[in-house]
Amino acid sequence: MSLSMYVFYNWLVFLWGGAGMLFIAVVSIREIIGQLGMRRNRTGQEE
């Protein structure tokens, strides 16, 4: 493996992992806010 290929490989993996984790972070935070909001509305309706 050449140096340039080694550098490219490391960058590729880091960007790939970074994109994957960022995607999950954004989606899951939105979902948690949604879940807590839904629960609050349901509790309010029951009262």
Size of residue set near another protein by CB under 8 A? 29
Site for another protein in 16-35 (CB under 8 A): 16-32, 34-35
- Report the C-alpha gap between 25 and 20 in whole angstroms: 9
Residue identified by tokens 């080694």 is 6
Q: How far is the CB of 9 from another protein (least distance, A)?
A: 8
Buried b (16+ CB within 10 A) or exposed e, 19-33: eeeeeeeeeeeeeee
Out of 33, 36, 37, 41, which residue is the one contacting another protein (CB under 8 A)? 36
41 near another protein, judged by CB under 8 A: no
